[in-house]
Structure formats: C-alpha cells, structure tokens
Amino acid sequence: MLATFLGVLPVAAGIPDNKVGGDHYEVSLLGIGGQNRTWAGFGGGALQANLPVWKYLDIQSGLQGLSPGVMTGLLQLQPVLPLKTGELFADVTGYYGGFYKYGVNEWLLAGSIGWRNAHFSVQGGVGVRWIRDGGPSDPVVEPVDPFYRVTYRVKTDDAPWNLTAGIANYSRYQVERAMQPIFFLEGSYRIGQQLSLIGEVYIKPVGMFHLVASWYEFSAGIGIRYRFAL
C-alpha cells in the first residue's frame, strides 16, 4: 500500500515522469594509478555503487584505497525533482578521508542543489569540514566550504558509449577548496547488455591534501560497471 502511494504521489503533484538518470542499479570496480609531487607514484582501487531506492531518491556510495596509506569514502543522498526540461536535484553528502601516512583525518558534511538535463549538469553548495592531525589538539573546523561541479556529457544515458568532461572542486574521493579545481574526463563503453568498460582521468593543479602547490597531480582509472534491476 505504501509503495502504491509513493508511486501515485508524483503524478498527483504534477511532477513529470522523465527522470534523467534512469532507474537502474550500478556497481563499479576500478583500478587506479597516478602521480603527484607528494607521493610520487601511487595506485589502488575503488568500489562504488548507485542505488535508486525510489524513483525520486538515489543513494550513491564509494570507497577507495591508495598505496600511500590513504582511505576515503563517501555516502550521498540525492532527491530528484523532474521538470519539463531536465530535473532539479539536491545532494546531502558525508565524506571521510584518512591520510594515515601523515596521521591526518578529515570529515565533511555538505549540501548542494543543481539542475541537469540529458547532457549538461551544474550544481553548487556549501559544507562543514573537520580536520584532525592525530595530536591532542582540537580538530580544525572550516565552517563554510563552497562546492561546485559543472559537467557536459556527449551522449544520453542509454547510448552504448559516452564521454563526460567537467570541472569541480570535489569528487567521490577527494575534496578541495573552491580555488583549487579538479579537471576530469570520464568515459564508458558498453560490452554487454548489463556490463560496461569505464575509465576516468583526473588532473589537479595542487599536491594531494595541499602539502605542495607547485605541480599538477594526474590520476587515471579503468574498470567495469555492472547495471541491474531488482
């Protein structure tokens, strides 16, 4: 009975039935490698999932481990409101970064709003960041961290291949300050009805965690994505 009510509610409210992202579940596994001036070479892997728990609510999560002793994770709730042209969406995000080589941990709680259609997406928001260096002192608190993300996707979601280019100051596994953007390119190629090859390239004009600021960081990942319906 509850499921019937939730399904009828958007129609009764006059919400268009044109969700941009579809209603499939996704699980992805990537191998990652790169280089920066802080760690030199690094490598690792990432596991990420997209779970549309309801047509108008997605849960996204990710966990990444890298060879210099870095573990990062993200959990994101994303309510969606379809419009006649594209859709509005909001993100409520919790992030953790453990930089164990340096004894540093950081936590972030952020909220943002955005708009997207089949090709273009733009969003912005603010968050609160806590950073602890492992010592007895209280954590450093940054009460207002602005966040932004702008992307352009060449194809629509149901195309057999796709490329997405963008600029942001955060991703699933790294969070930078507003003046330190991350440039990225992501791609996918479908090799089966439910299986795709995926790849990503990230370029960042600062050292990881702001320990140096005189050189770019480069990282790339390749892996597989499995889509399914319950």
The full set of domain ranges for the chain reads: 2-228
Residue 93 CA from chain centroid, whole number: 10
Beta strands 182-190 and 161-168 are antiparallel
Rounded distance, CA 20 to CA 178, Å?
27
CB 45 within 8 A of CB 65: yes
Beta strands 182-190 and 195-204 are antiparallel
Structure token pair of residue 200 = 């990503």
Q: What is the pLDDT, as a whole number, of residue 1? A: 37
Structure token pair of residue 219 = 């990282």
Q: What is the pLDDT, as a whole number, of residue 206? A: 61
SS3 label, residue 7: helix
Query: Which residues have CB under 8 Å from 155's CB, separation 6+?
Result: 161, 162, 163
Q: What is the pLDDT, as a whole number, of residue 18? A: 45
Mean pLDDT per 10-residue segment, the chain (230 residues) = 33 43 82 83 93 89 90 94 93 91 88 96 94 80 89 94 94 79 94 95 68 68 91
Residue 205 amino acid letter:
P
In this structure, CATH architecture of domain 2-228: Beta Barrel (2.40)
